[in-house]
Structure 1
Amino acid sequence: MLDVRRLRLLCDLARLDTIAAVAQAHMYTPSAVSQQLSALEREVGLPLLERTGRRVSLTAAGRVLVQHGETVLAALEQTTTALAALATGLSGPLRIGAFPTAVRTLLPATLVALAARHPGLDLMVTELDPVAVPDALHDHRLDVGLLHDYDVVPVRPDPMLDTVPLLDETVYLALPAGGGGSLREQRDADWIVASPGTLCQEVTLHVCRAAGFTPRVRHQADDFTTVLALVAAGQGVSLVPELATATPPTGVWLVPLQTRRRTRIAYRRGAATHPAVAAFVTEIRAASSTYGLPPATGRRPPHGDR
C-alpha cells in the first residue's frame, strides 16, 4: 500500500518543481524529501523521477501517480469532511491564514461571529503573505486561507486547492494632497513600492509600464498603512487596494484606477463542505458584505488608468 505522506510529497514536487522547494514547504531537509521519494519508488516498483545533475523531473509513471494521487488526497479530504459533518456541534481547531489588510479589516468581525455561533471552535489566525498560503494548506498547517491576485497579473490556480470568490476591489493611486491626478502624470514622481519579488511590486511595475514609464522607487514598504503614511508625508505616490483605504490619513488623495485586486477563500480540494470551513466562508462573506467604500472626502473623480 502506498504511503500517503510520500504521495503528497510527490504531488508537491509536481507543483513546486524542485526538491528544495518541497523541503522548504514541509520544513524538511532536501535529503529527507529525497529519501521519502526513493522509498515511494520502491513501493511502486517503478522509477518516478529522472535525475539530470541537480534537477529532477517526473517519469511517465510519476506523472500517472501524481494524477491519481491528487484524486486520492482530495478523496481523503472529503472523507474527513464527511466524518466531521456527523459530529454534534463544531469543535476543534480552525487554522486561518490571511494577509495583513484582511486581518485588520475583515477578520475581527468574522472571528467574533464564529466564536458566538460556534463556541467549540478553537480559532487560530496566522498573518501570511498570500504566496505562502498554498504551501501551508497543503502541509495542513492551515485549514482555510485567503489568496489574492490582480487582473493585470493573474496567478495560476493550484490544482490541489478549491477556491471561492470573496472580494473584487478597485486599486487606487494614492497621492499627496495637491499632486497630479492621473497615473501618467506620475512619470517623474517618487514611488513607494512593495519589496522585490512580491506580487504587489510586480503589479506596480506592470501598471506603470502600461502607462508608458518605469517608476522611480524611493521607498519600499509592504504594509499599506505604512505606505499611506509615507504618501501623506509627501514621500511619494503608490498603488493601494480598496480594502486598505477605509481610513486614509489626512493629506492623501485617492484616484480610482481600472486595475482590480481579486481575493478568494482557499481550502484543500474536498473540504468545501467541511462544517468549520463552510462556517468560516459564511461569516467572512458576511463581514465583507458589510464593508463599505471609504468616505468620498479627499477622493477625486475617476480618471481611469490613463
Structure 2
Amino acid sequence: MLDVRRLILLRDLAHLGTIAAVAQAHAYTPSAVSQQLAALQREAGTRLLERTGRRVGLTSTATALVQHTEVILAALEAADATVAAARTGLRGRVRIGAFPSAVRTLLPAALVGLARDHPALDLMISELDPVGMPAALRSRRLDVALLHDYDIAPTPPDPALDSTALLEETVFLAVPSDAAIGNIAAGHASPDPISGARDAQWIIGSPGTLCHSVALHACQLAGFTPAVRHHADDFTAMLALVAAGQGVALIPQLAIAQPSPQVRLLPLAMRRRTRVAYRRGAGGHPAVVACVAALRDATTAFLD
C-alpha cells in the first residue's frame, strides 16, 4: 500500500518544482523530503523521479500517481466533511485567506456574521496575494481562500481545488484628474483608455504578483509595453500616487472606497472575478458552507 503522506510530497513536487520548495512548504529538510520520496519509489517498485540537469522531474508513472493522489485527497476531504456534518454545532479553527481589498471590504462583515451564527468557530484571517493561495490551500495552511483572476488572463483550473463564484467587478484606469494622456484629455473619455495611456508612466504591482502580470498583459493587448515608474501592491497607495501625478494604474472596483478629486476613474471592458476556493471534496464541509454563505451575504450588502 502506498503511503498517502509520501504521495502528498510527490504531488507537491509536481506543483512546486523543487525538493527545496517542498521542504519549505512542509517545514522539512530537503534531505528528509528526498528520503521520503525515495521510500515512495521503493514502495512503487518503479522509477518515479528523474534528473534533468540540476532539477528533479517526474516520470510518466509519477505524473499518473499525482493524478490518483488528487482523487484520493478529494475523497478524504469528502469523508471529513461527512463526519463534520454529523457533529452537533460548528467548532474548531477555520483559516481564511484573502487579498487586501477583500480584507478591507468583504471580510469584516463576513466575520461578524460567522461569529454571530457560529460562535464556537475560531476564525483566522491571512492576507495573501492570490498567486500564493492555491499552495496554501493544498498544504492545509488555509481552509478557505478568496481568489481572483481577470477575464483577460484567466487562471487555469487547479486539480486540487474547487470553488464557487462570488463577485465580478469593473476594472478602472486611474489617471490624474488634470492629465492629458494621449487621447485621454482632461474631461473627455476614450473608447480605449489603456491604449490612450501608452505614453504615460505606469504604477503596477511588484513582479511576481497577479496585479503585475495583469497590468503588463493588458498593455500588451493594447499593443505596447508600459513604462513602469513605480511598483506598489496596495491599491490605496496606487491611488495616492496617481493623485500626486506620478502615473496611471489599473484599479478594481472593490479597491475604490472614496475616490480622490485628483483622480479620474475610466471604466474598462476588463473584469476582475473573485471566487471562494477550498480543497476539492471539502465543499460539503459545514464550516466551508458557512464561510461561503457569510461571504455571499457580505458581498451582497457591500454592493447594495
The residue correspondences of 1:112-151 to structure 2 (distance < 5 A) are 112-151=112-151
The CA deviation string for residues 202-240 of structure 1, in whole angstroms up to 9 with x for no partner, is 111121222232221111100001001111122111101
The CA deviation string for residues 140-181 of structure 1, in whole angstroms up to 9 with x for no partner, is 111111111111112211101111111111110001112234
Q: Distance in 2 between matches of 1:183 and 1:6?
A: 48
Equivalent in the alignment of 2:156: 156
Equivalent in the alignment of 2:238: 227
- Is 1:23 matched up with 2:10? no
Q: Which range moved further: 195-204 or 119-128?
A: 195-204
Q: Distance in 2 between matches of 1:3 and 1:76?
A: 14
Q: Which range moved further: 265-274 or 246-255?
A: 246-255
Q: Distance in 1 between matches of 2:196 and 2:72?
A: 54
What is the alpha-carbon root mean square deviation over aligned residues? 1.6
Q: Which range moved further: 48-57 or 1-10?
A: 48-57
1:32 deviates by: 2.2
Q: Which range moved further: 162-171 or 97-106?
A: 162-171
Equivalent in the alignment of 1:74: 74
Q: Unaligned 5+ residue runs, structure 1?
A: 294-306
Structure 1 consecutive aligned stretches of length 4 or more whose deviation exceeds 6 Å: none
Q: Distance in 1 between matches of 2:61 and 2:303?
A: 52
1:291 deviates by: 2.1
Equivalent in the alignment of 1:89: 89
Contact 2:130-2:210 within 8 A present in 1 as well? no
The number of residue pairs the alignment matches comes to 293
Identity rate, percent: 64
- Is 1:269 matched up with 2:283? no
Equivalent in the alignment of 2:301: 290
The CA deviation string for residues 91-144 of structure 1, in whole angstroms up to 9 with x for no partner, is 010110001110000000000000000001000001111111111111111111
The residue correspondences of 1:141-220 to structure 2 (distance < 5 A) are 141-179=141-179, 180=184, 181=189, 182-220=193-231
Q: Distance in 2 between matches of 1:145 and 1:185?
A: 36
Q: Distance in 2 between matches of 1:30 and 1:170?
A: 44
- Is 1:41 matched up with 2:52? no
Secondary structure of 1:119's counterpart equals coil
1:16 deviates by: 2.7
Q: Distance in 1 between matches of 2:264 and 2:27?
A: 44
Secondary structure of 1:291's counterpart equals helix
Equivalent in the alignment of 1:249: 260
1:288 deviates by: 0.9
